[in-house]
Chain A
Amino acid sequence: MRSFFRIIRFALQSMMRNFWLSFVTVSVFVLTLVTVNAVIVLNVLANASVKSVEGRVQVTVYFTSDASESTVKNVQSYLLGLSQVKDVSYVTADEALAQFKENHQNDPVILASLDEVDGNPLGQALKIRAYNAGDFPFVLQALETPEYKPFIKDKNYNNYESALRVLSDFSEKVRLGFLILALFFGFIATLIVFNTIRVAIYVHRDEIGIMKLVGANDWFVRGPFLFESICYAFIATVVMGVLLSAFLTFANPAIVAFFQGVDVDLVSYYLTNALPMFGAQFGILALLGLGTTTFAMRRYLRV
């Protein structure tokens, strides 16, 4: 117990008295965390915008004029039962016509031809939103049953098909891209932390030799370094938290304005995930530090 407190005292003393080395080490740790958090923020933003674009895409299914309202309502509840479907709204024939006219108000030819026709050429319709754009082909396939197929006049699936595929490819690629980016930065960060600690221990090699000559056992030599690396991880995580809060306070209004209509609340994202996220960052950094310290001392100092 006495030795434990001495080890902690030596660690704190060494951090204070080697101020610049400690400063550099903490800075490197902070930079490491900054890159990691930058990847996280970008990932959150990218996901939110992909989600929002996906959410806006909707497919309309038009029914023939002889389809009864109850048939259409059946289809609606059938679709709502599918787990991929987020929302299905019912459009009456009159609403469909009004909307059609509005969509084509600058197109006199189409409007004129509508007038040629008696009554309402359009039937009822269902507007479908899915959670993921990539699920539309499946959802529309589900309507290809003998029960419903005869009543379906048209699905504007074809018009959207390529756009949907591009979008869902894109969101897959965004996720993959960020995964690769995160791994890459994680790797670089590991190397940097590893080297920083190695240098720090190398700088202290003579002192470690002296401690051993005076009869310090391995734990007495190792302990302060291990505790120091935990302290560095902790300080770096706290500094990162402060930097991030400052960044979010200043940048969040701009980000929200930039992604108009998209639900990107980074502040609440970080608030809800703060503990696990910073806990994980601290934990990984501390483990990395401990591992590197142990490795460097074994390898270079035979302690």
Chain B
Amino acid sequence: MITFKNVTKEYPPKTHALAGVSFRIEAGEFVSITGQSGSGKSTVAKMIFAEEMPTSGHIHIGDWDISNIRHSDIPVLRRQIGVVFQDFKLLPKKTAFENVAFALEVAGESTKRIREVVPHVLKIVGLGEKGGRYPRQLSGGEQQRVSIARALVHRPKIIVADEPTGNLDAITAREIIELFTRINDFGTTVVLVTHDRDIVNGLHRRVITLRDGKVSSDAEKGKYLLS
């Protein structure tokens, strides 16, 4: 599903964020990517949805080599991937419903279908009643649920979440992670970037650990490694 082959990333002038990263994530897996701050986790995540391009090496999504993806193909790629961020990245002037609908509107989905699907997905994330609210009228956890709903609504094969619990308290964080595992149970591949030890240890899933831009460990049913 996702393949990194000898991927390096340099940020000019001379930051080597990734120095030869290789791994392969199969369809339906739930993979956590951990590592210390600055180890390159976010860089890996950004490359999956083509916000950054590798300096060298190759990245495949399915059969698609996106290492040198054309600018005009990026939206096509992103409509097949759901993304979730620490800071939610909701559109402040749109309601929860409109934020979720937006991901379908940009893909040209029919209005009729949008009216069916969006309330359903909002219910899945537990926000059935709050679709009419603007982001500023929602708590952090609720905002994150909206952003997860947006990431889900177009039925992507992959969801990439970069520190989705970073701004949430422990209980809310656990609820959000539970939501991801449920999403994964329906067959969606989940890539979860986190440095939260408790979350990683509680998942009992595959863990890829990065250190100084390299894969330092890659373990099935992994644990958060002290470094």
Q: Is the CB of A213 within 8 A of B49?
A: yes
Which of A18, A206, A207, A216 lies in contact with B106, CB distance below 8 A?
A: A216
Q: Is the CB of A18 within 8 A of B150?
A: no
Bound together, the chains give a CA A297 to CA B150 distance in angstroms of 25
Bound together, the chains give a CA A283 to CA B89 distance in angstroms of 37
- Within B114-137, which residues are at the interface with A (CB < 8 Å)? none
- Within B67-121, which residues are at the interface with A (CB < 8 Å)? 72, 74-79, 83, 89-94, 102-103, 105-108, 110-111
Q: Is the CB of A211 within 8 A of B93?
A: no
Bound together, the chains give a CA A218 to CA B92 distance in angstroms of 20
> Does any Cβ of B come within 8 Å of A2's Cβ?
yes
Q: Is the CB of A215 within 8 A of B79?
A: yes
Which of B77, B89, B111 lies in contact with A210, CB distance below 8 A?
A: B89
Q: Is the CB of A215 within 8 A of B103?
A: yes
Bound together, the chains give a CA A215 to CA B74 distance in angstroms of 7
Given A215-B78, A215-B79, A216-B75, answer yes or no on A14-B93 (Cβ-Cβ < 8 Å): yes
Q: Is the CB of A211 within 8 A of B51?
A: no
User: CB-CB contacts of B165-186 with A at 8 A, as 1s and 0s?
Assistant: 0000000000000000000000
Bound together, the chains give a CA A2 to CA B107 distance in angstroms of 11
Bound together, the chains give a CA A3 to CA B110 distance in angstroms of 10
Query: With a CB–CB cut-off of 8 A, which chain A residues contact B92?
Result: 207
Residue of A nearest to B88 (CB): A210
Q: Is the CB of B106 within 8 A of A213?
A: no
The number of inter-chain residue pairs (CB within 8 angstroms) is: 53
Query: With a CB–CB cut-off of 8 A, which chain A residues contact B105?
Result: 6
Query: With a CB–CB cut-off of 8 A, which chain A residues contact B76?
Result: 215
Count B-side interface residues using an 8 Å CB cutoff. Answer: 26
> Does any Cβ of B come within 8 Å of A17's Cβ?
yes
Residue of B nearest to A3 (CB): B108
User: CB-CB contacts of A204-239 with B at 8 A, as 1s and 0s?
Assistant: 001101111111111010000000000000000000
Q: Is the CB of A210 within 8 A of B91?
A: yes
Q: Is the CB of B110 within 8 A of A217?
A: no
Q: How far is the CB of B162 from chain A (nearest CB, A)?
A: 11
Q: Is the CB of A2 within 8 A of B103?
A: no
Q: How far is the CB of A210 from chain B (nearest CB, A)?
A: 5
Bound together, the chains give a CA A211 to CA B83 distance in angstroms of 12
Q: Is the CB of A215 within 8 A of B107?
A: yes
Residue of B nearest to A220 (CB): B106
Query: With a CB–CB cut-off of 8 A, which chain B residues contact A211?
Result: 91, 102, 106
Query: With a CB–CB cut-off of 8 A, which chain B residues contact A6?
Result: 105
Q: Is the CB of A210 within 8 A of B72?
A: no
Q: How far is the CB of A272 from chain B (nearest CB, A)?
A: 44
- Within A164-208, which residues are at the interface with B (CB < 8 Å)? 206-207
Residue of A nearest to B107 (CB): A215
Query: With a CB–CB cut-off of 8 A, which chain A residues contact B75?
Result: 212, 215-217, 220
Query: With a CB–CB cut-off of 8 A, which chain A residues contact B89?
Result: 206, 209-210, 213
Q: A216-B106, A217-B72 are in contact. List 12 more A-B contacts (CB 8 A).
A: A2-B110, A13-B93, A206-B89, A210-B91, A213-B78, A214-B103, A214-B106, A214-B150, A215-B75, A215-B103, A218-B72, A220-B106
Interface residues of B (CB under 8 A from A): 49, 51, 72, 74-79, 83, 89-94, 102-103, 105-108, 110-111, 150, 154
Interface residues of A (CB under 8 A from B): 2-3, 6, 13-14, 17-18, 206-207, 209-218, 220
A-B contact pairs, 30 of them (CB 8 A): A2-B110, A3-B108, A13-B94, A14-B93, A18-B93, A206-B89, A207-B91, A207-B92, A209-B89, A210-B89, A210-B91, A211-B91, A211-B102, A212-B74, A213-B78, A213-B83, A214-B78, A214-B83, A214-B102, A214-B150, A215-B75, A215-B78, A215-B79, A215-B107, A216-B75, A216-B102, A217-B72, A217-B75, A218-B72, A220-B106
